[in-house]
Every structure is written in C-alpha cells, then in structure tokens.
A and B are shown apart, each in its own frame.
Chain A
Amino acid sequence: MSDPLLIAGTALNSRLFLGTAGYPNQQVMLDALEASGAELATMSIRRISLDGYSGSLVDLLGDRVRLLPNTSGCVTARDAILTAELAREALETDWVKLELIGDRETLYPDVEQLVPAADELVRKGFVVLPYCNDDPVTCQKLADVGCAAVMPLGSLIGSGRGLANPAAIELICARSPVPVVLDAGIGTASDAALAMELGCDAVMVNTAIARSHDPRRMAAAMRAAVEAGRLARLAGRIPERLFAEPSSPQLGLVGS
C-alpha cells in the first residue's frame, strides 16, 4: 500500500524526518537513521564544516539519505538567506529548512522575519520548509508565499513535551494547502502518533531519539508510531461518545 508524501514533486516513502544532532556518536546516529527508515535528515549548516572531509557528517550521510540543510542558529533574515545559499552551493540541494529564531531561551520562531525570508528564498528558487509557530495564520502566509511545506512546532525545541496545542495543530492540518510537518517537542512515540492522527503529513524528530537510552530502539518506535498514526488517520477514527455503545448486538441474546 503505497502512500508517499509529496513535497515539491518529490515522493518520500517515509513520513518521519530525522535530525542528526546530539547523538552519542556517529555510529549510533547512523543506526538510528536506519532503524527509523527516514529518507530525509536535517543538518545544521552553521555548526558543521561543509567540506565533506572523510568522516564528516556530509561525507557520511551524502549517499544514505536526502539532506535537508537547516538554518539553525540564524536570528536575522539576512543570515538565514546567506546560510541557505551556502548550503545550496556546498550540498547541491535547493531544499532548506528555514529556521529564524526570535528568542534564545524558548527558541521560538521570529514570524515577523520568517515570512519575508521565506518569500525571498522561494524567489531564489529554493524549496522552503519553514519552522514556524503553531498558528494557522502564519502557516497560511507561509503557504501563500510558496513554501513547499510548513513545519509548526509541537512544543519547545528539545523539551520533549509533545503537542502543547493539539487543537491548533489539527486546525492547521485541516486548512493547509501544503504538507504539514510537525516539528519540535516530540518526547516519545505516542506524541508522533498523535500528530499523525491529527492530520500531519509527517513528523520531524531529533532529541527524543538522540538522547534516549537506546536511540536505535526509539528510532524504530518512532517509525512504528508515525506509520500507526498515519494508518489511523486514513482509516478514520470513530466519533467520541459520552456513553457506552456495546460492540455486540444487545437484542436477540440467546435465552431471552
């Protein structure tokens, strides 16, 4: 049963995106990547060398997975655009996860700068996936300027607190003309499943896997959760009821 996710005309068979930072070591990261089945992995352009020297992240991941460079650490639109251009040149991909951070303690997106920065990157030919607030208006504006997907936060980056506002995420999913990728805040597998059940098209996970006691196993758990959530969404959940409704018929019981 093929159910690919289409972003900018590219089909992805896995709906789980993986971050590559914070693992105990590269081998654990590679094992987790394999266990997750993810086809897309983000990497922070400003925190690593892009030279592709032997053993570097670029060298290691280049053949295994589609790289999604991010602009993590950027606080101005200008920085973010320069970083995206640097990544395009070094990694030969025009995909970019646009991150523009407005506050260091919460790592909340700076939406005021985000929309025009996304607009400019789209005009420069980038496939833009912006990290944004769980705000339907912002997500709509980002779609309007031509972003290929939107990536609203579930809760604060690295907090592991799951979906702080599931109703908002559901609303965004219901209205978005582009794929919705839940980004940030996933703590464990049920969070990922919930995001998919609410209608997200994919889930992005980093810390919850990288910092677990067994990253390989958590990666496998996330994979299963995303698949389960997606299947449940497609199958259609039953309406919630106030009172019990027996699943077996009440009439015609033997002996009555």
Chain B
Amino acid sequence: MPTRANAHRQGRVSLSLCTKTEQSVNGAAACRGKGRGERNFLHPCGLRPTFVGRLGCCPAARETARSWRLRSDPLNLAGHARRRESVITTPNDASQHLPSTIVIGAGVIGLALAWRLAQAGCRVSVYDRGEAGHGASWAAAGMLAAAAETEPGEEALLSLTRESQRLWPEFARELEAATGLPVGYRDEGTLVVALNRDDAETLRHSYEFQRRLGLDLQWLSAFEARRREPHLKPGVAAAVFSPADHQVDNRCLAHALVAACRGAGVALYEHCAVREVLFAGGRAAGVATERGDARADIVVLAAGAWSREIAGIPPAHLPPVRPIKGQMLALQMDPRAPLLRHVVWAPRSYMVPRSDGRLIVGGTVEERGFDTALTAGGMLALLEGAWRAVPAIEELPIAETWVGFRPGSRDDAPMLGPSGIDGLAVATGHHRNGILLTPVTAALMSAYVLSDRLSQLARPFDPRRFAAPGVSGQAEAAQ
C-alpha cells in the first residue's frame, strides 16, 4: 500500500486532518479506515446483513422503482435522451417514481449530486474508497475562475463555467443555511500579474483573446495593480483584474457537503470501495463493494481521476479520464494581516489567500499518471513563482505540501450524462474546474437522473463525444 507521506505538515493544522490528507490525496488504496473511527459520522456498514437491508429499503418500494425504469424502451440501451412515458408530474406522486441512485465517489461532485437528488426525494447512497471529499476536492485551490483561466479551444466550456459561476453565490448560501457550516466564499476577484516585458506581452495576448469572448476583464497599470495588492513586487509590469473570478474554501465545501448529504438522508459509505458495477439485463443494476452488493436504479460514476479503475464497465464505455498530477503547498499568513486579498496569478504559480490565513500556492500540471512524489523541482517552481511576484512570502512558514490528481479529459471539459449503457451515468473529467463546476454539475446531473434527459447546457459535455468510431451505444454490458 503506497503510504508515502506527502503531506508534510508543520503544526497549525490539526493532526487528524493531516493523516487523512495523506491517505486520500495519495490515492492510496481504498478502505484504509477500518478501525480508524476518528469520526462518528461513518455509517456502521461493516456488517453485511445490515448493509443490504439499509440499502434495500422495503421490497415494495424497490419494486416500484425498478418498474419505473423497466418501462423504458428496451431499445434504449444507449441511454439516449428519449422522452419516456413516465415523467415526474407532481412532487407527491413523484416519490414512488423516483429512481434510487448509487453515486461512486464522494468528492464534491458526487456529494453535491447526492445532496440534490436527496432533496428531490430520491434514495441515494454514496460510496468512497477513502474519506469523503479527500481526493481532488481536498487537493484543489478553490478558484472559481471562469474568466481568467479560459484558453483557446475551450470556448464551449465557457458557457458551463460561467453558468456555474453565476450559481455559486446562491449555492454557497443554501449550503451554509442547510448545514450551519461556512464554505469560505470570497468575492474580491482575481489578479493576473505580469512581472516583466515578456510576461506583459503574454498577458496581453491572452487578455485580447478573453476580451473577444466578452469576458469582463480590466487591464491595470502597475500602479493600479499595486494599489490593490501592495505586496506585489515593485516593478510589476502590468496586471489584469477579473472581478467575477471568486474563490471558495474547497475543504470547507467538502465538509459542508458531507453534512448536507447526511442531513438530507443520503447514505454515505466512506472507506468502502466499489469494486465493480453490476449489470442485469443489459443495464447497470448496482455495485459490488468491499462489503457486499447494493442495488439501485441508476449508478453514477463520479470517481474523478480514478473512474477507470471501477471494474465491470466495458472499456468502450469507461469515461476517458486521466490523472493530471498537481503539486501544491500552503503557507501560513497572519490572518489579521494577510499579504494578499485577491487570488493572484503570477506567471508560474498562483496564490489563493484563505480567511484563516493559509495562502495556497499551486499548482504544477504534470502528465505522470498517479505519481505521488513531491519533487524539489515542483516545490521550487511554486515557491519561486510566488516569490517573484510577492517577495514577502519568504517570511512565511510552510503549513503543508501535497499532491493531487485532477481528472482530465481530452478536451479538459467534463463528461456529464450517459455512459452509453442504460442505467449508468457519468460525472467526471472536471480537470481544473471541479470546484467551480460543482453547482452546475449537481443541477444538470440531478435533472438528468430524474428525467433521463440531458439539458441543452449539458449536451456539449455528453461523455459519448469521445466514443471511438464504430462503438455503438448498444453496449453489450457485462451480462
């Protein structure tokens, strides 16, 4: 079991968080938590009879739910968005028609989806091989940057990122109201700084591209940039201010989503890896976990960079997602006198100031599979990049270092909706944008699960866009 200590913590952060960070950020083998019960909110899912009973609900209800799905067109194995006879009409009537759902992966995507489905009245179970919210969700920086991060070729993604950006403030309010837990939403905006002539030319190049897309960005002189952030190095060449690119504390978000799920009646199984998706009659019917099988009408694969490790799914229908390694670190500022207030992008690293004084510095982008090594070069690049923009960071203690794995798709856009096999949906591939896209993903995917239709906004992100030519939607699902 790979247990390399990546999260070298130097005080200030609670020890229990430390160990958990190590285990899940590493992607270490699942289900290491047996006997670890540091937290009581784990469901006692160690005993198989209890476990199955818990999931099964009463047989009659299960039968009703099943028949709802079986009434669908038998030709509709591809999961095409075809209108079916059974459409939810009224909330009262709905309860007996709502599909029970299993979500694989308790990252912010899986949790937010589970929360929405439970709010709609569905019976939802979420499985994670580690602790909930401790994969890429934990490793992220929480930037909600639809504007400043837009690159050529990603114009289609912009409609989705901007919609999610629009949803974020209300999503944060709703989540905080439901749980009483803060998510650290901050709206100071983002500064992208150029430190020399070459940087300024590069910044101008991307600024012109982004402005052409209609994004609200402001070109700042060096004077204006330093007025906003006085700790930027003297002699900074220029900056771009993006007022709409806010931030959220992704770790608080993960905690709040766990609480919201529990509050809404979601059955959350941590340290309980899904081994395999089960099929019956050509459609997904449930999952086999380390502690027994569970059945549901719909299975949603939301396991991030690890989504291809779930057995049972025919290879042609596995979402083409790959791990994109990121090294990160956190410095500790004095929360009463933070060095920065905005999210700051320097040419070689970015800095995200948290309200508790942590300054997140990220992030390398490495195509190295699930390589968990923190490297001298990676840390040097982050620190040097940050230091060149904000020299005062050299005084700060290092609070934490870690490695995470972004779930990357070929076009850097997520995969949302049908897998090509009936009963199996996909919500992964969010790459750098998982935190940003959480509200919109939860909204689109819960609508998809409830209606079996993909909304207009989600269609460009249909996972089947990557299907190899010749792979029909008519999957020969494993039995």
Chain A residues within CB distance 8 Å of chain B: 23-28, 30-31, 47-49, 51, 53-57, 60, 211-216
Among B153, B368, B408, which residue has its beta carbon within 8 angstroms of that of A215?
Answer: B153
Nearest chain B CB to A156's CB is how many angstroms away? 11
- Whether A56 pairs with B367 at a CB distance below 8 angstroms is yes
> Taking A212-B152, A215-B153 as contacts, is the C-beta distance between A55 and B371 under 8 angstroms?
no
Q: Which chain B residues numbered 370 to 393 have a C-beta less than 8 Å away from chain A?
A: 371
Residues of A within 8 A of B41 (CB): none
Further 9 A-B residue pairs, CB within 8 A, beyond A24-B412, A212-B152: A25-B411, A25-B412, A26-B410, A49-B368, A49-B369, A54-B308, A55-B320, A55-B410, A213-B205
- The distance in angstroms between the C-alpha atoms of A57 and B322, with both chains bound, is 10
| Chain B residue with the shortest CB-CB distance to A160 | B201
Report the separation of the CA atoms of residues A23 and B369 in the bound assembly, to the nearest whole angstrom: 19
Distance A30 CA – B308 CA, assembled complex (angstroms): 22
Q: Once bound together, how far apart are the Cα atoms of A54 and B316, in whole Å? A: 12
Shortest C-beta distance, A87 to chain B (Å), equals 15
Asked whether A48 and B367 contact (CB < 8 A) given A28-B411, A54-B320, A54-B322, the answer is yes
Residues of A within 8 A of B208 (CB): 213
Q: Which of A25, A28, A213, A216 contacts B209 (CB 8 A)?
A: A213
Whether the pair A28, B153 counts as a contact (CB closer than 8 A) is: yes
- B154 CB to closest chain A CB (Å) equals 6
* Contact of B308 with A24 in the complex, beta carbons under 8 Å: no
Bound-complex Cα distance A35 to B369 (A): 28
Tell me if B224 counts as interface (CB < 8 A to partner A).
no
Which residues of chain B are near A216, meaning CB under 8 Å?
A: 153
- B238 touches A (CB below 8 Å): no
CB pair A27 B410 closer than 8 Å: yes
Q: Within the assembled complex, what's the spacing in Å between the Cα atoms of A192 and B477?
A: 51
Question: CB-nearest residue of chain B relative to A28?
Answer: B153
Against A, the Cβ 8 Å flags (1 = close, 0 = not) of B200-226 are 000001001100000000000000000
Known pairs A26-B411, A55-B410; A47 contacts B367 (CB<8 A)? yes
Binding site for A on B (CB under 8 A): 151-154, 205, 208-209, 308, 318, 320-322, 366-369, 371, 408-412
Q: List 30 A-B contacts (CB under 8 A).
A: A24-B154, A25-B153, A26-B410, A26-B412, A27-B411, A27-B412, A28-B152, A28-B153, A31-B153, A47-B366, A48-B367, A48-B368, A49-B368, A49-B371, A51-B369, A54-B308, A54-B322, A55-B320, A55-B322, A55-B408, A56-B367, A56-B369, A60-B410, A211-B205, A212-B152, A213-B152, A213-B205, A213-B209, A215-B152, A215-B153
B322 & A27 in contact (Cβ 8 Å cutoff): no
Establish whether residues B369 and A53, one from each chain, have CB atoms under 8 Å apart when the complex forms: yes
Known: A24-B412, A30-B410. A53 touches B322 (CB 8 A): yes
Q: How far is the CB of A70 from chain B (nearest CB, A)?
A: 15
B368: chain A residues at CB < 8 Å are 48-49
What residue in chain A is nearest B305 (Cβ atoms)?
Answer: A55
Q: Is A25 in contact with B308, judged by CB distance below 8 angstroms?
A: no
Distance in angstroms from A85 CB to nearest chain B CB is: 19
- The chain A residue with its CB closest to the CB of B322 is A55
Are A24 and B408 interface neighbours, CB within 8 A? Answer: no
Asked whether A24 and B367 contact (CB < 8 A) given A54-B322, A55-B322, A213-B209, the answer is no
Residues in B whose Cβ lies below 8 Å from that of A28 = 152-153, 411
B324 to chain A, nearest CB (A): 9
Which listed residue (B152, B321, B366) contacts A24, Cβ 8 A? Answer: B152
CA of A215 to CA of B154, assembled, Å? 12
Give the distance in Å from the alpha carbon of A56 to the alpha carbon of B154 in the complex.
20
CB distance from A41 to the nearest CB of B (A): 15
